[in-house]
Structure 1
């Protein structure tokens, strides 16, 4: 199992990964709360030369599912831009949140907007790296909050070989039982390509996305280790920075 972490020091991701003893790192290529176009990473040569694998997380502002043209159109553009920038540093994928529509809007139309993302990009040769859709914690009109909703999304986009990122804190917050979550996801979509292994500061089915270190949250840390083992995919810890090294060490011990 390859175990790594989201690194906050985006200007030196490999150095931070080495200090943590990580096999892979996740990073942003621009401010995650803004629409900035990512430029060339200052450490591109070092990243490409390193044995540490890299995955990129897209900005949080992206909402591909939105029925609002003023949000959906820049979201499509941003996904393509960040995929191109991710490819330039040798990333193995781009994580994109499932997104949502607003109260009273058609969830099915939001799902179709995901389909249109891939259809439109196909005419341009496809995305430069695989897109990894991530499940989300809350929202009654979300595309990927519940596992059955993820299955319905995959019925529409799965033929594009899109990947899936399972976030344990998000699933817990959504009210999904982690004991058999991996099996249920695989039964519906046939794959898990990345795991965001996070504990939660909040109770089950809270719809709140607040991560905790593996030993400090409301989820049994051994259950989290079991999810990682079952998923058999690369693992990224998005837990608080002060406990990241301990989280990596714990997970290695539990899964070795």
Structure 2
């Protein structure tokens, strides 16, 4: 059963771009934001008029974001300048977002200019984003659990640089993959090394919270079990500056069956018991191409994988997931309107209160997402075929 959430005021339905619509998401079923939730309400950007450039649309071209205590967004591009991530988030109607603060596949990147930093902070204010709803993602190269001291030091330097960049931008959170034993030591030994790196990084930064991501469980990778996440936290000295980001695809692949309401409650209870809900700082919302317990990290679009759309309804209507970044990392096929569609769908799901219409609504949303994904996948395949033919 989906609980009806009462309110003292009415809120607007999700505003989509002109070509988007979702059946069964009428205003009579939109959840209002109550007085005690008002501090979490997203402020929509002011409708300013300004000169339109080739790469920057007028403010009026941005979709108006839904006011909701569930801060749903996506991992957007920061290409061309870190400040562009804010605009790209606004373009898909996101109430939260993730980004890379430098290239995720290089050890070193140019430092931010003062103009980058000022523009980022200015756009955060303009579009009404709060730092606690931004979840930067760490480099894929970093392995803080590597027993090789020289390699671990290289990872630490990259890790610390990311944290310092986040603080430059005024951000509060930093999400990273914990690391791997590389088959040379026990997981317990690597867990201690990871925690030591976090402790050292905390001493060289001011306030940033390091957010550990749960993993799918392949090979020697650490973090697929809640006990491993707790093991790292246990060795962190300043526990006010450490947290966890739960990835739905990773959890499912690791064997945590969150595909049903009862399963979600059981897994969330287990997380609370083993780690503690106070450490939950964000979620990655991804469906799974791979089956339960497969240990395969294969992200799928919302409602199109083994988890199914009902899974996300009970996640984005759970009061315990309010006011933290809920970030999509689903395939886009180089077309971000897929994220616009998925964000709108998730906002709709968070407000479903009429049980008799839920199955019909969920089916409609899945059909919308499926149609868009298939269209863009076909376009990408066609472009790739033409490119090969020209060679």
**Fold match, TM over 0.5?**
yes
What residue is the counterpart of 1:214 in the other structure? 302
Cα distance in structure 2, aligned partners of 1:183 and 1:37? 41
* Alignment of 1:100 onto 2:180: yes
Change (3 A) 1:37 1:129: farther
Match of 1:185 among 259, 264, 271: 271
* SS of residue matched to 1:57: coil
User: How far is 1:76 from its partner?
Assistant: 1.2
Change (3 A) 1:219 1:122: closer
- Measured against aligned partners, the alpha-carbon deviations of 1:136-162 in whole angstroms (never above 9, x if no partner) come to 113343321112222223222275330
* Alignment of 1:148 onto 2:148: no
Match of 1:26 among 76, 80, 98: 98
- Measured against aligned partners, the alpha-carbon deviations of 1:34-64 in whole angstroms (never above 9, x if no partner) come to 2124521664323212222432111111011
What residue is the counterpart of 2:288 in the other structure? 200
Quick check: 197-206 or 133-142, which moved more?
133-142
What residue is the counterpart of 2:341 in the other structure? 246
Contact 2:244 2:281 in 1 (8 A): yes
User: How far is 1:79 from its partner?
Assistant: 1.4
Contact 1:38 1:82 in 2 (8 A): no
Match of 2:190 among 110, 119, 123: 110
* SS of residue matched to 1:195: strand
Instruction: Give the structure-2-normalised TM-score.
Output: 0.61
* SS of residue matched to 1:30: coil
Cα distance in structure 1, aligned partners of 2:227 and 2:202? 27
Runs of 4 or more off by more than 4 Å in structure 1?
none
Contact 1:29 1:82 in 2 (8 A): yes
* SS of residue matched to 1:44: helix
What residue is the counterpart of 1:45 in the other structure? 118
Cα distance in structure 2, aligned partners of 1:40 and 1:88? 9
* SS of residue matched to 2:146: coil
Match of 1:120 among 200, 203, 216: 200
Cα distance in structure 1, aligned partners of 2:203 and 2:104? 27
The equivalences for 1:226-245 within 5 A come to 226-228=314-316, 229=318, 230-232=320-322, 233-241=324-332, 242=335, 243-245=338-340
Which structure has the greater CA radius of gyration?
2
The equivalences for 1:59-74 within 5 A come to 59-74=139-154
- Measured against aligned partners, the alpha-carbon deviations of 1:199-220 in whole angstroms (never above 9, x if no partner) come to 1122122222121110222212
What residue is the counterpart of 2:156 in the other structure? 76
Higher relative strand content: 1
* SS of residue matched to 1:56: coil
Cα distance in structure 1, aligned partners of 2:315 and 2:151? 34
User: How far is 1:226 from its partner?
Assistant: 1.8
Contact 2:191 2:232 in 1 (8 A): yes
Contact 2:97 2:327 in 1 (8 A): yes
Cα distance in structure 2, aligned partners of 1:146 and 1:47? 36
The CA RMSD measured in Å over matched residues stands at: 2.0
Contact 1:14 1:46 in 2 (8 A): no
Cα distance in structure 1, aligned partners of 2:186 and 2:208? 29
